[in-house]
Chain A
Amino acid sequence: MDLATLQHFWAGIIAFAILVYVILDGFDLGVGMLFAFAPNERWREQMHASISPVWDGNETWLVLIGASLFGAFPMVYAIFLSAFYIPVTLLLFALIFRGVSFEFRHQDPAHRGLWDWGLIVGSAVATFVQGAAIGTMVEGLVVVDGRYAGTGWEWVGLFPILCGFGLMVGYMLLGACWLVLKCRGAVYIWAGDLIRPLLLGVLVFLGIAFVYALWSRFAVMARWVDLPWMAVLPATGAICAMLLYARGGQVRRDWAPFALVAIIFLAAFATLAASFWPYMLPFSVTVAEAAAPRSSLAFMFWGCGLVAFPAVLIYTAVVYWIFRGKVKTGAGYGH
């Protein structure tokens, strides 16, 4: 197998993993943020039960992204993490509080409020940081001789902060659609009513972000002029958004809103990736420049890529199938 194919294979796996992470942990983090607005313990109980069996597996996609980058594109791993030292540290704090809150809120009813806030704030901070990191990457990082050479504070800018808040709304939309899929009764109705306002928020944000990227990065604009067929990507997202807005929470199939939002996220991600390909870090480091040597890529390809990766997909699907259907209230984080 030639080197370019291996490089593209791993870029593809990482892109796929990012997409899966955003959709799966996106609904976990979204439900976590929506926790702030749940009026009573019965609602929170149901919301919690909808994510507790799967959040850990969902978060593992983030570790997979980190480990795959380290193995296949060590340069990007090193640049990205040193550029985002403070945000990544905040992300880790947030994920710690989010992660332990699942078990701790069950262990300690007396401090349940504390751990619920750990879940809410942890989910919000983790989401914000991810959005801000995407925004910073779109703006471009300072890279000299293959090493990061910035100040570490680029993420505190207008556009990154806008992206941070935008992603928070986006994940809450995913969370609301997940609740429609998994819950009944009052939570179901409430989550359904949230879909339209959250969707509007996401669309406004995506519009601003897209226009900003076109306007501020000449290379992005040139690419869209060269390859106008790429417009099919945002167009797909727009059609799904219209379908979703038309129905809101009034759906015959409870999986439909989640599926539509997943496609919207897919379209947004593909639009972003198409704007920057073949750059991994926009306009400073390409996929080929960042790639590990052939022996590393091939070693990972045969074991991780061909054997472990399909196995992961299969049993991830099995676990989701085991926990299919509406949650049983009272089947929360207990043993």
Chain B
Amino acid sequence: MELDPVLLSRIQFGFLITFHIIFPAFTIGLAAWLTVIEATRQVTGREIYRRLFDFWIRIFALSFGMGVVSGIVMAFQFGTNWSVLSEQTGSIQGPLLGYEAFTAFFLEASFFGVVLFGRDRVPAWFFLFACAMVALGTTASSFWIMANNSWMQVPVGHAIVDGHIVPVNWREIIWGPVFKIRWLHMLLAAYLTTATCVAAAGAWYLLRRVHVPEARLMLRWGLGLAAVVIMPQMWLGHLNGEYIGEHQPSKFTAVEGRWETEAPARLVLFAWPDAAAEKNHFEIAIPKLGSFVDSLDFESSQPGIKTIPRDERPPILIPFFGFRIMVGLGVLIWAIAWGGVVLILTGVVERSRLFLWATFLNFPSGFVAIIAGWFVAEVGRQPWVVFGILKTADAHTPTLTGGQVLGSLIGFAVVYLIVYGFGFAYLYRVFRVGPQSAPTPVPGATGARPLAGAGRLDDPSQPMED
């Protein structure tokens, strides 16, 4: 069988981005939260915040490390596998990603070293400043990535000169019609992901009756943040849908899952869309609600998939189900967060074991929702890589053979299996042990900083510097 290098490259890119997105999705919120904890500790002087910080910084360090290495991979994918895309759109995508490297990566990487190793080398205010710079770096990174991706979704502000895409108006390119909503949607998704994880860790410790004071704080902060963020997030999701309806009818109709144009339109809750037969199997739909959800008007006409030419339709199943998974998990997070706030306010949360179990088991929801949403955005954009301008099939590196891509894909799969297998096991171990009341070194871990205070490991005759 002839190997299709384009399909293999798409699988490779999807695989790599799916793994990568897990980590920034988590660290954007976590960096901000660590900054808040450190600030609270400096203001209140309470030791519990130091224990919280020292615990979550270990989680952050592991996640950040895995995010950095999977992110470096992404920085080169455009050139290795999608050289025509790079060459044609490099003058727009390149500067946006260049800004990311200049304004975000160096902030993160440089100040992360200070946060991890520098607490006893810098004054307290500078330490807090370093935490804030790491948080700013992760946020800036999301800004540029979403600006770049939004341009690929709805390209504006450019001209086409000699077959090359040339930037004309940078303000328009960055602050395009869909960017602001998509960026905020992503940021809040990251905060929700962190919040559900923090709450889940707290619930887990409360169920096991360990680290109770820290666990209470984690549960309250996590649920509280999720409860505040979830409603604006759902509203942003709705606005996002409106923009997609306006700019990307092919994605919009695939997500809605209606084949025919309907007035008033039904809301398809569940179905198995059949692209070949152009119809749905096992459909469950609610009359008129589709019109209302799409336009806040119960009678409006909504387009169907058949309005899109066959060769411009995306693969339907992934955006269709991805969207429903994302929304379903959003509703789940909403229920847990608001239910949790009620239980906290009535003072019974620690006795509600069922609720604590639900909160604990909810930890992957944010990640899965982000990945599902990202799949909706990216697969729903197909067959275009830059919507309406460049097709994915035409953007591939021409010299690349199927065998080469298959080789690299298998290589990445094996490397990621090893590295992330161990990485997730370490994350689990750190979570399982939980926050430590006193800085006790892990047995055998000679690298732990507390030992520096406990005594010298090598030649004791040499004095310690600073």
Contacts and interface: CB of A to CB of B under 8 A. Distances in A.
Most buried by A among B80, B170, B415: B80
Main secondary structure of the interface of B (DSSP, over half): helix
A292 interface: yes
A107 B430 contact: yes
Contacts of B61: 103, 335
B458 A42 contact: yes
A85 B87 CA distance: 16
Interface string A86-109: 101100110111011011111111
Main secondary structure of the interface of A (DSSP, over half): helix
Most buried by B among A100, A104, A308: A100
A49 B113 CA distance: 12
A127 interface: no
B67 to A, nearest CB: 10
A81 B117 contact: no
Contact of B110 (A57, A95, A110): A57
Interface string B61-100: 1100110111111011011110110110111111111111
Contacts of A96: 69-70, 72-73, 415, 419
**Interface size range on B against A:** 35 or more
Contacts of B122: 322
A214 interface: no
A330 B114 CA distance: 16
Contacts of B458: 42, 45-46, 185, 329
A95 B451 CA distance: 29
Interface stretch (A132-140, A194-202, A299-307): A299-307
Interface stretch (B187-195, B315-323, B354-362, B441-449): B441-449
B270 interface: no
B15 interface: no
Most buried by A among B109, B168, B404: B109
A329 B456 contact: yes
A216 interface: no
Nearest to B105: A60
A151 B412 CA distance: 22
B91 A74 contact: yes
B99 A303 contact: yes
Interface string A75-91: 10111111011101100
A60 B109 contact: yes
B87 A78 contact: yes
Nearest to A62: B72
Interface stretch (B218-226, B259-267, B394-402): B394-402
B465 interface: yes
24 contacts: A53-B114, A54-B113, A56-B112, A57-B106, A69-B94, A70-B90, A71-B94, A71-B96, A74-B87, A77-B78, A86-B408, A92-B73, A93-B411, A95-B72, A96-B72, A295-B168, A295-B170, A296-B166, A304-B95, A304-B99, A322-B114, A330-B447, A334-B449, A335-B116
